Each structure stands twice: as structure tokens, then as C-alpha cells.
Amino acid sequence: MTADLRAQIITEARTWIGTPYHHNAKVKGVGVDCVQFIIAVYDACGLTFVGDADYPHDWHLHRSEERYLNGVSRYGRKVDQPDPGDLALFKFGRCVSHAGLVLPDGAGIIHSYLGNGVVISSLTNHRLAGRLHSFWSVIP
């Protein structure tokens, strides 16, 4: 992924800040959940990412299937050191079930979080810190 594309991803993601969290929605300024946020941002930048499949809000609490991770692995590759615009994946319940976009210069992630909507969060001082699973780079 080029530096220009990474900058475009971050610029687009920032336009979503303040959008309320709403399960399975994808309307800037109105409502979006974590996966729909990633899909919308990448789509606006010309990247394909996990499809728009409908899913129950609590699917990750009752199953062990790596549904989210399997979707990410179809479009990306795991990386040890993320670059801006890469994904940070988090584990809730039994499996990976949340993601955010990595910001430049260690500034954290931008993500849609239940109760907060689209916000910027630190990876070290946020309640997600202990849930970090892995980083992934999407392949254009």
C-alpha cells in the first residue's frame, strides 16, 4: 500500500469522527459499527474489504468461529509493525470481534466503539489495550 493511499485512508476515517455507534449501520454522521466503519473507509479509498453480511450484535460471545479474522485474512496479511491505515484487531468473547485503523506516529487507532461512536483511542491507555490480538495490512 502506498503512502498516499495510507494518508487517504486516515483522512477519510477522520471525517467519520463523531458518528454515533449503531449496529450494522454505515451512514456517516448518523450511525456505524466497527466493521461497517472499516468497510466504508476502505471502500471510499478504492479498497475491497470484508462484505456487508448481516450479523447478530453478540455473535462473538456465543461462538468460537473466527468469523471476523477469517474475513480480514482474505483481504490482508498479518504484520508485526503496523503502518497508518492498517488494522488493529481485538479479541472480545471467544474470538476477534473488533477493529480500528492505525493512526500515524503511534497516535492510536480510530474506530467505532459501542457507546462512543467513531473516536480516536490510545492503544495503551484505553480499555482495548489488553484485548489487542494482531495487526493486519490490507492488500490493494
pTM value surpassing 0.85? yes
Residue 53 has pLDDT above 80, yes or no: no
- For 19-25, which contacts have Cβ atoms below 8 Å and span 24 or more sequence positions? 19/112, 19/117, 19/118, 20/117, 21/112, 21/113, 21/114, 21/115, 21/116, 21/117, 21/118, 23/57, 24/54, 24/55, 24/57
Q: What is the mean pLDDT of residues 98-108?
A: 92
Residue 64 has pLDDT above 70, yes or no: no
